[in-house]
Amino acid sequence: MNERETEKTGDFEAALQNLPVFPLPQVVLFPRALLPLHIFEPRYRAMLKDCLAGHRHIVMTHVDASSGAREGVVAGVGYIVEHQPLPDGRANIVVQGRARVRVTELPSSDPYRRVRATKLEDVTKRVSQADRTALVTAAGAYAGEVGRRDPRFSFAVPPNLETGALADLCAHHLILSAEMRQKMLEELDASLRVQSVIRELATQHSALLHVSGGVLH
């Protein structure tokens, strides 16, 4: 059974005061992006049960191979928009990113971590039209090349989306390196974030053109 719910701004602000944490390697959640997840570990089954009974928000933290999830890290907070329970207690969910946040660890008696989160806003949203055009071109070129090699892959640039938010979705769907995605999540200057995504997509596109018959996953 799929569930879709809406939430008020006040509910979101209240949720930021005490959030469960789901740390995963290679996973970075950007605002507006949709992230499907499979929940199977007992502690995260407990987390999901508690979350569904409350505000339905969770923090996704990228786990660095060398340092793990860090105090004060910039992470993505998301809202569970779909929940599909499975007969054996596992579940499939879809989380939609809502904001960048900086987290502070809270004491927790639960089998999973909890944090207080502070919402982060872009320090500047000004992006030149030239950079927007370059971003759309780079995303289209790279996605098109991947699609030619793997027909299962598709990515369409959303129309009428503010450029910084567009860069977020391009990073979420197209940037391969989790470390680079984390850096883009941490970048609060939209212009610099857009330029970073453009450069990384150009690098990936160039590398892909040199792979004979390769398919990226």
Mark which of 58, 92, 120 sits at the end of a domain: 120
The answer to the question of residue 1 being in a domain is: no
My answer on whether 17 and 94 are in the same domain is yes
Q: Is the pLDDT of residue 70 over 70?
A: no
Tens digit of each residue's pLDDT (9 = 90 or more) over 193-212: 999 999 999 999 999 998 75
Domain count for the chain: 2
Output the pLDDT for position 157. Answer: 87
Tokens of 85: 């329970």
The answer to the question of residue 2 being in a domain is: no
Instruction: Return the higher-pLDDT residue of 8 and 120.
Output: 120
Parent domain of 176: 129-209
CATH label of the domain that carries residue 25: 2.30.130.40
Mark which of 120, 144, 169 sits at the end of a domain: 120
pTM, two decimal places: 0.88
The answer to the question of residue 151 being in a domain is: yes
The answer to the question of residue 18 being in a domain is: yes
Looking at mean pLDDT, say which of 3-7, 98-102, 122-126, 154-158 comes out highest. 98-102
My answer on whether 113 and 143 are in the same domain is no
Mark which of 103, 120, 137 sits at the end of a domain: 120
Tens digit of each residue's pLDDT (9 = 90 or more) over 122-170: 998 899 999 999 999 999 999 999 999 999 998 988 888 999 999 999 9
Burial 99-132 (b: 16+ CB within 10 A, else e): bbbbbeeeeeeeebbbbebeebebeeeebeeebb
